[in-house]
Amino acid sequence: MKKIKTLQCINCGRDHKLSEVKYTCASCGGNLQVIYDYNLIKKRLNYEVLKNNQDRTLWRYMDILPLAGFKMIPPVQVGWTPLYRAERLGAEAGVPNLYIKDDGRNPSASFKDRASAVVVARARELKEKVVTCASTGNAASSLACLTGSLDLKTVIFVPETAPAPKVAQLLVFGAVVIMVKGTYDSAFDLCLKASAEYGWYNRSTGVNPFTREGKKTCAFEICEQLKWETPDKVFVSVGDGNIISGIWKGFVEFHSLGIIEKLPQMIAVQAEKSDAIKRALESGGDIQPVSGETVADSISVSMPRDGTAALTALRESQGFALSVTDAEILAAIPEVARGSNVFAEPAAAATYAGLKKAVKEGRVKDNESVVLLISGNGLKDVSSAMKSVGRPFVIPPDINELRKLVSANKLA
């Protein structure tokens, strides 16, 4: 592929040819990053071309994706999710220029479809027969969804604690589901071993250099949807660190293509006990494992699989990291819903909890434009959402009973 220059190790800098490597660095095992020939791409992909492109999916960016072409893309619509101006929520947070990027609007209802779409297309170009993935839930349900009707057997490793709706998605789409009695981290290691032993193509976050490529398209869309402007700050919830590093790569690439003029600050929001990246950023030391315990299953990570890239994104963008408690995360679910009409799963609502904290600490100015990434839909984890809302009224089907209820609760 002429457009790809090298797969470069983010750790030691070693270059690899696309045809030589599938996963990580041959020297040090570090994660790889796809580097394109940006001069070549500039001729194909620019403001004029994008403005006239009618394709409302992430495939509008094919010229800067690591694929040979459109032939092997999965048959459902991924990407070009809405960016809403969230007036009510912004007023409540004290951030008048607040936007919500609703990535729960993807086929499997999470941001992970961006990554899976690119990886599935790549797997088909490589004529792989089996794809595998370890996941806290969303990456897996996304992979299962996108391979659903394709001749690509899908083997999934999830922790036993994955929320039931995500497990239901896996089974409905026909994946082989292996529940691991352990954490996401232990499922991850087992999946790596399975991939090596059976030759299955591994989509897992961090090891597969193409997940970041799909994820970066979210940044491209934000720029286009803001009429080619860059927001001041982008809040992203962070577990492994692949989303935040992917989105950052997208902004950097649009900047180097001359499509945008400035870069945003990336803000990482982590759960209090799943905050390995925040700790490393603030201490300046290496990433150390943490317990990873949180109600927000999608960001429950002991040892981040793309932590180095996430730290680079935070440092280069002069951003920062925040942590929020489980109580703050759960409270944010109805707040986001009532302030922006969007139902977010716990990990997605965490960005709003983080925004409130950042405002309180004086780290967001009131004239700044802020994008909150909503990375997954609330129906993904209904039992967590139910913890932060009241109960419905229950009455017999009788008008007198209704009258009593209305007057007792001052509903009319």
Ligand X SMILES: *Cc1c(COP(=O)(O)O)cnc(C)c1O
For residue 301, the minimal CB distance to ligand X (Å) is: 6
Structure tokens at 160: 């036993």
Residue 44 CA to its chain's centroid (Å): 27
Residue with smaller CB distance to Zn ion, 8 or 300: 8
Binding of residue 30 to Zn ion (CB under 5 A):
yes
> Which element (helix H / strand E) includes 324?
strand 320-324
323: left (phi over 0), alpha (psi -120 to 50) or beta: beta
Phi and psi angles of residue 176, each rounded to the nearest 5 degrees, phi first: -80, 120
Structure tokens at 178: 């292996």
Residue list 261-300, contact with ligand X (CB under 6 A): 298-299
Name the one range near Zn ion by CB under 5 A: 6-14, 117-125, 201-209, 303-311. 6-14
Among residues 102, 224, 335, 345, which is the contact residue for ligand X, using CB under 6 A? 345
Among residues 205, 217, 274, 308, which is the contact residue for ligand X, using CB under 6 A? 205
Q: Which residues contact 350 (CB under 8 A, 6 or more apart)?
A: 237, 269, 270, 271, 296, 299, 324, 329, 332
Among residues 3, 7, 8, 9, which is the contact residue for Zn ion, using CB under 5 A? 9
Among residues 32, 117, 118, 238, which is the contact residue for ligand X, using CB under 6 A? 238
For residue 34, the minimal CB distance to Zn ion (Å) is: 15
Among residues 108, 116, 132, 138, which is the contact residue for ligand X, using CB under 6 A? 138
Structure tokens at 158: 């999830």
Residue 191's binding partner out of Zn ion, ligand X, none, with CB under 5 to 8 Å set by partner kind: none
CA angle 309, 194, 32 (to 5 degrees): 20
Q: Using CA atoms, how far apart are residues 86 and 90, in angstroms rounded to an integer? A: 6
Binding of residue 243 to ligand X (CB under 6 A):
yes
Residue list 207-236, contact with ligand X (CB under 6 A): none
Give the x/- contact pattern for ligand X in 369-398, rule: CB under 6 A: ------xx----------------------
Residue with smaller CB distance to ligand X, 81 or 138: 138
Q: Using CA atoms, how far apart are residues 393 and 92, in angstroms rounded to an integer? A: 28
Residue 164's binding partner out of Zn ion, ligand X, none, with CB under 5 to 8 Å set by partner kind: none
For residue 315, the minimal CB distance to ligand X (Å) is: 16
Residue nearest to ligand X (CB): 376
Residue 294's binding partner out of Zn ion, ligand X, none, with CB under 5 to 8 Å set by partner kind: none
Q: Characterize 259-294 residue by residue with b for buried, 16 or more Cβ atoms within 10 angstroms of its Cβ, and e for exposed.
A: bbeebbbbbbbbbbbbbbbbbbbeeeeebeebebeb
* Among candidate residues 319, 209, 257, the one with its CA nearest the CA of residue 61: 257
For residue 296, the minimal CB distance to ligand X (Å) is: 8
How many chain residues bind Zn ion (CB under 5 A)?
8
* Among candidate residues 1, 118, 120, 145, the one with its CA nearest the CA of residue 58: 118
Binding of residue 271 to Zn ion (CB under 5 A):
no
Among residues 185, 221, 240, 328, which is the contact residue for ligand X, using CB under 6 A? 240
Residue 242's binding partner out of Zn ion, ligand X, none, with CB under 5 to 8 Å set by partner kind: ligand X
Q: How many CB atoms are closer than 10 A to CB 406?
A: 12
Residue 9's binding partner out of Zn ion, ligand X, none, with CB under 5 to 8 Å set by partner kind: Zn ion
Name the one range near ligand X by CB under 6 A: 5-13, 152-160, 249-257, 340-348. 340-348
Q: DSSP letters of 208-245?
A: STTHHHHHTHHHHHHHHHTTTPPPSEEEEE-SSSHHHH
For residue 30, the minimal CB distance to Zn ion (Å) is: 4
> Which element (helix H / strand E) includes 357?
helix 346-360
Q: Which residues contact 54 (CB under 8 A, 6 or more apart)?
A: none
Residues binding Zn ion (CB under 5 A)? 9, 11-12, 14, 25, 27-28, 30
Residues binding ligand X (CB under 6 A)? 110-112, 138, 205, 237-243, 298-299, 345, 347-348, 375-376
